[in-house]
Protein backbone atom coordinates (compact mmCIF):
# COMPACT_ATOMS: atom_id res chain seq x y z
CA UNK A 1 0.00 0.00 0.00
CA UNK A 2 2.84 2.36 1.01
CA UNK A 3 4.68 1.57 -2.23
CA UNK A 4 1.65 2.45 -4.39
CA UNK A 5 1.36 5.81 -2.59
CA UNK A 6 5.07 6.54 -3.23
CA UNK A 7 4.86 5.65 -6.91
CA UNK A 8 1.88 7.95 -7.48
CA UNK A 9 3.62 10.77 -5.57
CA UNK A 10 6.73 10.38 -7.75
CA UNK A 11 4.60 10.25 -10.90
CA UNK A 12 2.75 13.42 -9.89
CA UNK A 13 6.09 15.13 -9.21
CA UNK A 14 7.47 14.00 -12.56
CA UNK A 15 4.38 15.40 -14.29
CA UNK A 16 4.95 18.76 -12.52
CA UNK A 17 8.62 18.76 -13.56
CA UNK A 18 7.64 17.82 -17.11
CA UNK A 19 5.11 20.65 -17.23
CA UNK A 20 7.66 23.14 -15.87
CA UNK A 21 10.18 22.51 -18.66
CA UNK A 22 9.64 24.89 -21.55
CA UNK A 23 10.21 23.83 -25.16
CA UNK A 24 11.80 26.59 -27.26
CA UNK A 25 11.70 25.70 -30.97
CA UNK A 26 14.65 26.58 -33.23
CA UNK A 27 17.02 27.53 -30.39
CA UNK A 28 20.00 27.92 -30.53
CA UNK A 29 19.57 27.04 -34.20
CA UNK A 30 16.85 25.89 -36.58
CA UNK A 31 15.54 22.38 -36.03
CA UNK A 32 16.54 22.13 -32.34
CA UNK A 33 13.82 22.05 -29.70
CA UNK A 34 15.60 23.52 -26.70
CA UNK A 35 14.42 22.12 -23.33
CA UNK A 36 14.56 25.15 -21.05
CA UNK A 37 14.88 24.30 -17.36
CA UNK A 38 14.80 27.92 -16.11
CA UNK A 39 11.07 27.80 -15.21
CA UNK A 40 11.83 24.82 -12.94
CA UNK A 41 14.47 26.94 -11.16
CA UNK A 42 11.76 29.49 -10.33
CA UNK A 43 10.00 26.83 -8.20
CA UNK A 44 12.21 25.95 -5.20
CA UNK A 45 9.92 23.26 -3.81
CA UNK A 46 9.75 21.53 -7.19
CA UNK A 47 13.53 21.83 -7.60
CA UNK A 48 13.92 20.17 -4.18
CA UNK A 49 11.61 17.33 -5.30
CA UNK A 50 13.62 17.03 -8.53
CA UNK A 51 16.86 16.60 -6.58
CA UNK A 52 15.17 13.99 -4.35
CA UNK A 53 14.20 11.98 -7.45
CA UNK A 54 17.72 12.27 -8.89
CA UNK A 55 19.29 11.19 -5.58
CA UNK A 56 16.96 8.22 -4.96
CA UNK A 57 18.52 5.64 -7.36
CA UNK A 58 22.12 6.52 -6.44
CA UNK A 59 21.98 7.00 -2.69
CA UNK A 60 23.91 4.30 -0.77
CA UNK A 61 25.84 3.48 -3.97
CA UNK A 62 29.67 3.33 -3.90
CA UNK A 63 30.23 6.71 -5.58
CA UNK A 64 33.38 8.68 -4.62
CA UNK A 65 32.99 11.73 -6.84
CA UNK A 66 30.51 13.54 -9.04
CA UNK A 67 31.66 15.20 -12.26
CA UNK A 68 29.42 18.13 -13.22
CA UNK A 69 29.25 19.13 -16.89
CA UNK A 70 29.33 22.84 -17.78
CA UNK A 71 27.08 24.62 -17.69
CA UNK A 72 23.68 23.39 -16.58
CA UNK A 73 25.16 20.32 -14.91
CA UNK A 74 26.58 22.89 -12.45
CA UNK A 75 23.02 23.63 -11.27
CA UNK A 76 22.08 20.06 -10.34
CA UNK A 77 25.40 18.44 -9.37
CA UNK A 78 26.20 20.47 -6.21
CA UNK A 79 22.68 19.93 -4.87
CA UNK A 80 23.08 16.18 -5.37
CA UNK A 81 26.71 16.08 -4.13
CA UNK A 82 25.85 17.86 -0.88
CA UNK A 83 22.88 15.52 -0.30
CA UNK A 84 25.16 12.51 -0.76
CA UNK A 85 28.06 14.15 1.06
CA UNK A 86 30.53 13.40 -1.73
CA UNK A 87 32.95 15.65 -3.57
CA UNK A 88 32.36 17.32 -6.90
CA UNK A 89 34.61 17.96 -9.89
CA UNK A 90 34.00 20.42 -12.75
CA UNK A 91 34.21 19.48 -16.44
CA UNK A 92 34.55 22.88 -18.13
CA UNK A 93 34.89 24.48 -21.52
CA UNK A 94 38.48 25.40 -22.54
CA UNK A 95 40.25 28.25 -20.77
CA UNK A 96 38.05 28.27 -17.67
CA UNK A 97 39.96 26.03 -15.25
CA UNK A 98 43.13 27.58 -13.77
CA UNK A 99 45.15 24.41 -13.06
CA UNK A 100 46.82 21.84 -15.33
CA UNK A 101 44.09 20.06 -17.32
CA UNK A 102 43.33 16.96 -19.33
CA UNK A 103 40.86 17.35 -22.19
CA UNK A 104 38.53 15.53 -24.57
CA UNK A 105 36.71 16.65 -27.70
CA UNK A 106 33.01 16.10 -28.38
CA UNK A 107 30.27 16.78 -30.91
CA UNK A 108 27.13 18.51 -29.63
CA UNK A 109 23.59 18.33 -31.06
CA UNK A 110 24.41 21.87 -32.24
CA UNK A 111 28.22 22.15 -32.63
CA UNK A 112 31.71 20.95 -31.58
CA UNK A 113 33.57 21.61 -28.38
CA UNK A 114 36.26 20.51 -25.93
CA UNK A 115 35.81 19.76 -22.23
CA UNK A 116 38.61 20.00 -19.70
CA UNK A 117 39.06 18.72 -16.17
CA UNK A 118 41.84 19.41 -13.66
CA UNK A 119 44.32 16.56 -14.05
CA UNK A 120 44.50 15.98 -10.27
CA UNK A 121 40.71 16.09 -9.69
CA UNK A 122 40.12 12.33 -9.97
CA UNK A 123 42.27 9.81 -8.12
CA UNK A 124 43.00 6.41 -9.68
CA UNK A 125 40.09 4.02 -8.97
CA UNK A 126 37.69 6.78 -7.83
CA UNK A 127 34.16 5.64 -8.63
CA UNK A 128 32.65 8.53 -10.59
CA UNK A 129 29.10 9.63 -11.41
CA UNK A 130 28.59 12.13 -14.26
CA UNK A 131 25.78 14.69 -14.01
CA UNK A 132 24.18 16.97 -16.60
CA UNK A 133 20.74 18.47 -17.27
CA UNK A 134 20.06 16.90 -20.68
CA UNK A 135 21.16 13.70 -22.43
CA UNK A 136 20.78 14.38 -26.16
CA UNK A 137 23.16 12.58 -28.57
CA UNK A 138 25.41 11.52 -25.69
CA UNK A 139 28.54 13.14 -27.19
CA UNK A 140 29.16 15.44 -24.22
CA UNK A 141 28.71 12.73 -21.61
CA UNK A 142 30.94 10.38 -23.64
CA UNK A 143 33.71 13.03 -23.66
CA UNK A 144 33.51 13.16 -19.85
CA UNK A 145 33.72 9.35 -19.71
CA UNK A 146 36.98 9.71 -21.68
CA UNK A 147 38.28 12.26 -19.16
CA UNK A 148 37.55 9.87 -16.30
CA UNK A 149 39.34 7.03 -18.10
CA UNK A 150 42.33 9.33 -18.83
CA UNK A 151 42.46 10.11 -15.09
CA UNK A 152 42.36 6.34 -14.37
CA UNK A 153 39.07 6.68 -12.51
CA UNK A 154 36.22 4.18 -12.72
CA UNK A 155 32.91 5.14 -14.28
CA UNK A 156 29.97 4.45 -11.96
CA UNK A 157 27.32 5.90 -14.30
CA UNK A 158 25.31 8.95 -15.33
CA UNK A 159 22.41 10.96 -13.98
CA UNK A 160 20.42 13.40 -16.13
CA UNK A 161 17.28 15.36 -15.46
CA UNK A 162 16.09 15.04 -19.08
CA UNK A 163 16.68 12.36 -21.71
CA UNK A 164 15.84 12.97 -25.38
CA UNK A 165 15.17 9.29 -26.04
CA UNK A 166 14.87 9.53 -29.84
CA UNK A 167 18.52 10.59 -30.09
CA UNK A 168 19.61 7.30 -28.46
CA UNK A 169 22.41 8.96 -26.44
CA UNK A 170 22.10 6.15 -23.88
CA UNK A 171 23.40 3.63 -26.47
CA UNK A 172 26.56 5.71 -26.93
CA UNK A 173 27.39 5.54 -23.22
CA UNK A 174 27.97 1.78 -23.17
CA UNK A 175 27.24 -0.65 -20.37
CA UNK A 176 26.87 1.70 -17.44
CA UNK A 177 24.03 2.96 -15.25
CA UNK A 178 22.13 5.80 -16.92
CA UNK A 179 19.38 7.50 -14.91
CA UNK A 180 16.99 10.18 -16.15
CA UNK A 181 13.86 11.64 -14.58
CA UNK A 182 12.00 13.00 -17.61
CA UNK A 183 12.03 11.51 -21.11
CA UNK A 184 10.94 13.16 -24.38
P1 LIG B 1 24.66 15.82 -26.28
O2 LIG B 1 26.14 15.85 -26.24
O3 LIG B 1 24.12 15.82 -27.68
O4 LIG B 1 24.09 14.69 -25.44
O5 LIG B 1 24.14 17.19 -25.66
C6 LIG B 1 24.05 17.36 -24.29
C7 LIG B 1 24.46 18.74 -23.86
O8 LIG B 1 23.94 19.75 -24.70
C9 LIG B 1 23.95 19.04 -22.49
O10 LIG B 1 24.98 19.74 -21.79
C11 LIG B 1 22.73 19.90 -22.69
O12 LIG B 1 22.71 20.94 -21.76
C13 LIG B 1 22.87 20.44 -24.10
N14 LIG B 1 21.70 20.13 -24.95
C15 LIG B 1 21.71 19.35 -26.07
N16 LIG B 1 20.51 19.33 -26.66
C17 LIG B 1 19.72 20.10 -25.90
C18 LIG B 1 18.34 20.47 -25.98
N19 LIG B 1 17.56 20.01 -26.96
N20 LIG B 1 17.83 21.27 -25.01
C21 LIG B 1 18.62 21.72 -24.00
N22 LIG B 1 19.92 21.42 -23.89
C23 LIG B 1 20.48 20.62 -24.81
- Contact at 8 Å (CB) between 160 and 21? no
First-to-final CA distance of the chain: 30
Active site residue 109: yes
- Contact at 8 Å (CB) between 67 and 130? yes
pLDDT at 3 over 60: no
Burial class for 10, CB neighbours closer than 10 Å (0-12, 13-18, 19+): middle
166 secondary structure, DSSP code: G
- Compute, in angstroms, the gap from residue 9 CA to the centroid of ligand 1: 28
Instruction: Give residue-wise pLDDT tens across range 5-46.
Output: 566 899 999 999 999 999 999 999 999 999 999 999 999 999
Q: What is the pTM assigned to this prediction?
A: 0.94
Residue nearest to atom 3 of ligand 1 (CA): 137
Ligand 1 within 6 A of CB of 133: yes
Amino acid sequence: MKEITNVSHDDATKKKIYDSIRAIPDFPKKGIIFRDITPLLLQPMLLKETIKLMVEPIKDKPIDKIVAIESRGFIFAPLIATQLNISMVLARKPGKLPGACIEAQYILEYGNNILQMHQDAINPNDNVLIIDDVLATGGTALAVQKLIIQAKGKLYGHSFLIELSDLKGRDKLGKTEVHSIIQY
